[in-house]
Amino acid sequence: MADTDLLLRTADSAAAIGSAGPQLPANLEAEAAFLGAVLIDNKVIEELQTPLSPLHFHEPVHQRIFERVLKLLDRNSVATPVTLKPYFESDEAMKQLGGTTYLAQLTADGQGLLHPRELAEQIYSLALLRELVSVGRNLVEGALDTSDEVEPLKKIEQAEADLYRVAEGASTGSEAQTFRTAAFGALQVVQAAMNSGGRFSGKTTGLDTINEKTSGLHNSDLVILAGRPAMGKTSLATNIAFNAARRLMDDLRAGIEREKSPGAGVAFFSLEMSADQLATRILAEQAEISSEKLRSGRLSRDEFQRLSFASQELTDLPLYIDDTPALTIGALRTRARRLKRRHDIGLVIVDYLQLLQGSGRASDNRVNEISEISRGLKTLAKELHVPVVALSQLSRQVEQREDKRPQLSDLRESGSIEQDADMVWFIYRAEYYHNALKPDTPDETSSEDVRMKYAEWEARHLELVNKATLIVAKQRHGSTGNVPLLFHSEFTKFSSPDVRHYDDYE
């Protein structure tokens, strides 16, 4: 009888609140039956595949009952009507249902034990429908309200963000994790590192020296990759994007589950280069053909066959390139959510940060706008639970110093980039600056002094050629330092040297 009273009371309440429209989707009988099954056999919760939480129940009393059940089970206690009774003796809503005897009535017939999984799925599905109703209501109310500002694009971006949250099954009121849950996640990260041979635990960059220094690219991290022009920022970002996507493609073809692969589907937002230019770089790297030859079309038959083979081999590459110019940070986040939902991307790369635009409110102050953009990228990393690599320019003051190696103070336009980033990388090639000092090539008439200077320059050039250094200037979860790399300019390709430790190149 108490259960029936609850159904009637909730129906009357809903009708009184919104008699002009339909009631919110809910099944209180299913909620009661499921709770009864849990109180009879606590193992029902352990066998659930649906991520059910207290907020998925429509009736507040049921929310509190399920929340208390979870707390008891978390302490390895038994949840029964008897053990729950002390927690609800003063519950006013429970008194209206006949007091704590309602807990015993939930277990009276035990019908829920016949199909607890189906009941949980229905409770969860109806909760998502209620959230969808809430999103629609907020969208309508926001669109009708023009008292403050008329910003339709911003309202669309917010609506897409809300819809993404519903699609991911997130509740409108996100809950804090228990330490037990967080610790289990930490152990999974450690186990992933052990499975990789102790080399890295995050998404692979495809470059062993970087993986060893940073343990890979970690979910929810914002990585800033900065450097002066011609240092190879875009080349390194493209290499990382391809390596991660290629690893996932190869693992899936080998029958390895997506969750167990260190590879990732990649969303590459290129605000500077077109999609076909990036594809040309990748094909040049894989076919080992000079990108200049590709652009000019001066290819031999053998080179064209290698190019064709590389193109066919990479048809399933999970790399998605968005070359829309002048994106706002809000539009980028919307597009990234869409790619996450459709293709389950595991890595986002943005080339480059300074070409993004803010919401418009801070556009009169570039420093504030860059701060908004860097915060938005960090929020995106946490929201999608993927690493975000954003390329960034450096100020010209690097060129004015005798030591050309970048520093954190060189990050252009805002200190918030350094603050929001979990890692800051600088790409530095001493070869580039040394080549700018090249003296005239001596001939038969040159003096001994001229010959000596050229010989000294050439000897140093041979030490620096094709070598690069990735300076890890900030790493929230590890040490800073220099990472040796090799750069093959004709293929715009970075690789790791066989010798891991060599001196920094001045």
User: Given the structure tokens 């980028």, which residue do they identify?
Assistant: 332
pLDDT of residue 167: 65
pLDDT in tens, 38-87: 899 888 887 776 778 888 899 889 999 998 888 887 777 888 989 988 88
Q: H or E element: which one contains 301? A: helix 301-313
SS3 content of the chain, % helix, strand, coil (to 5): 55, 10, 35
Where is pLDDT greater, at 361 or 12? 361
CA-to-CA separations, 263 to 245, 251, 318, in angstroms, rounded: 6, 8, 10
- Asked whether residue 372 carries a pLDDT value surpassing 60, the answer given is yes
**What is the Cα–Cα distance from 127 to 166, expressed in whole angstroms?**
10
Where is pLDDT greater, at 346 or 114? 346
CA angle 18, 24, 26 (to 5 degrees): 140
pLDDT in tens, 274-305: 888 888 788 878 877 877 777 777 778 888 88
Hey, where are the domains in the chain? 28-144+155-162, 202-424
**What is the Cα–Cα distance from 95 to 221, expressed in whole angstroms?**
48
Phi then psi dihedrals of residue 24, to 5 deg: -65, 145
> Band of the pLDDT at 5, cuts 50, 70, 90?
very low
Is the domain 28-144+155-162 a CATH 1.10.860.10 member? yes
**What is the Cα–Cα distance from 223 to 238, expressed in whole angstroms?**
15
The token pair at 279 is 């594809």
pLDDT of residue 195: 56
| pTM of the model as a whole | 0.64
Residue 175 · residue 66 · CB < 8 Å: no
pLDDT in tens, 131-166: 888 888 877 777 777 666 666 777 777 777 777 667
pLDDT of residue 505: 43
Identify the bridge partners of residue 420 per DSSP, sorted by sequence position: none
So what's the architecture of 202-424 in CATH? 3-Layer(aba) Sandwich (3.40)
CATH topology match: 28-144+155-162 vs 202-424: no
